[in-house]
Structure formats: C-alpha cells, structure tokens
Amino acid sequence: MPMPRDSATDQGTASDDQLLADYAAGRGGAAAEMTARFLPLAYRLAFRMLGQAADAEDVAQEAMLRLFRQAPGWQAGRARVGTWLYRVTANLCADQGRRRRLAPLEAADGVAAPGLPAEEALTDRARVAALHAAIATLPDRQRLALVLRHLEGLGNPEIAAIMEIGVEAVESLVARGRRRLAEVLAGRRAELGYGGEDD
C-alpha cells in the first residue's frame, strides 16, 4: 500500500501526530521530515486526479502549506493526518478541476520503472497511461473513490471519512467506476497485452 494508515508506524519513527507536534515546537528537521512523509501522498492523489504534473505540483504544494499552518493547532487523536491531507488535496483538486478542463494525462512522465528492460518498461508505461486516461473519463466522485481505493489502497471507511459520505455510497461509487473502466478498457485489451488469445 502506498500510504500506510499512520505513515510512521512501520518505520519506528515518530508518529504523524508527534511529528506535527515536533514541527509546532520548532524542532529542526521536522519540516523536511513532514515534506518527505506527506508530500508524496498529496502529489500522487493530485496527479491521478488532475492528470497534469504542473497542476498536481500546485495542488500538492498548497495542501502542504495548509498542513504546515495547521500543525500548531493540530489535536492529536482527533483525526488521522493522512485522512486530513487526502481530504484537503481532494478539495483542492475539485477547485482546480472547476477552473480548468481536465487535460490529457501525462502518466508516462516521471514514473519509469527502474530496473525493467526498455521494452517492458515502455509497455508498462503505456498500460499505466491507458489506465489513467480511462480514469480521467470518470465523473469526479467516482474517480476520487476509485483512485483512493485501488491506487492509494485505502479502505472504504477511510474513503468515506475523506469524502464525507457513507461507506455504502463509497462502495457504490467504486463499483460503478470499476464497471465503467472495464468497459472503456475492454476494447484495448490486445493493445494493452491482456487477453490476446480471446481476440
């Protein structure tokens, strides 16, 4: 899973709440640690929702600035930092999406798989790009629910908390999103290298 529930749990380092407290107390290095821990989360979601690196950078940076400003007033245990940041990032993406029309995804940029042979890496890149392009055709809420569930690896209750809807509504959004994606990608199975023997 790209984003553990508490990103520090498995690392033996300070918990997310403790890290924010350290930052608020002025501990040196806390800002860099927060950046390393939380910026990838905000950037991944923004990139997958908006499909443009430049927009994703703007949104991720703004989300992080809000987290820095929030840290001194953060109440430990009331909410999970990751959940809060996902929600803020999703809201910023919605704002950004309203300002700009969804642009073609740049899924191939900056996501080369290290260590893979060139041909295989190219195929993988094309597959991921095709998936992201198909995701971009989904309605906003289906796209968000599906990205959080299948690309960020979150559970439905946490997605419900992020989207401020019920768990059943999340399940419905994810199921509809999957069906629609499967339909969109069904005509490209051979191109994507899947199920070639059926075609």
Partner 1 sequence: MTERRDDDMADLDRLFALARKRAPEPPPELVRRVGRAGVALQPAPARPGARAFWPRLLQGAGGWPGLGGMAAAGVVGLVFGLGGLIGPVAADEGAGAALSLLPGGASLEQPLLGAGDE
Query: What is the binding site for partner 1 (CB under 8 A)?
Result: 2, 23-27, 30-32, 34-36, 39-40, 43-44, 47-48, 53, 56-57, 60-61, 64-65, 68-69, 72, 107, 109-113, 124-125, 127-128, 130-132, 150-151, 153, 178, 181-183, 185-186, 189, 192, 194-195, 198
CB 140 within 8 A of CB 176: no
Provide the 8-state DSSP code for 150. Answer: I
Q: Which is nearer to partner 1, 69 or 164 (CB)?
A: 69
Q: Which is nearer to partner 1, 64 or 160 (CB)?
A: 64
Q: Which is nearer to partner 1, 5 or 127 (CB)?
A: 127
Query: And the tokens for 75?
Result: 């109440």
Distance CA 199, CA 20 (A): 54
Min CB(61)–partner 1 separation in Å: 6
Distance CA 186, CA 169 (A): 26
Count other C-beta atoms under 10 Å from residue 195's C-beta. Answer: 10
Nearest-5° Cα angle at 125, 142 to 181: 25
Rg over CA atoms, the chain: 18
Angle between helices 81-99 and 156-163 (to 10 degrees): 50
Q: Which is nearer to partner 1, 110 or 164 (CB)?
A: 110
Q: Which is nearer to partner 1, 164 or 184 (CB)?
A: 184
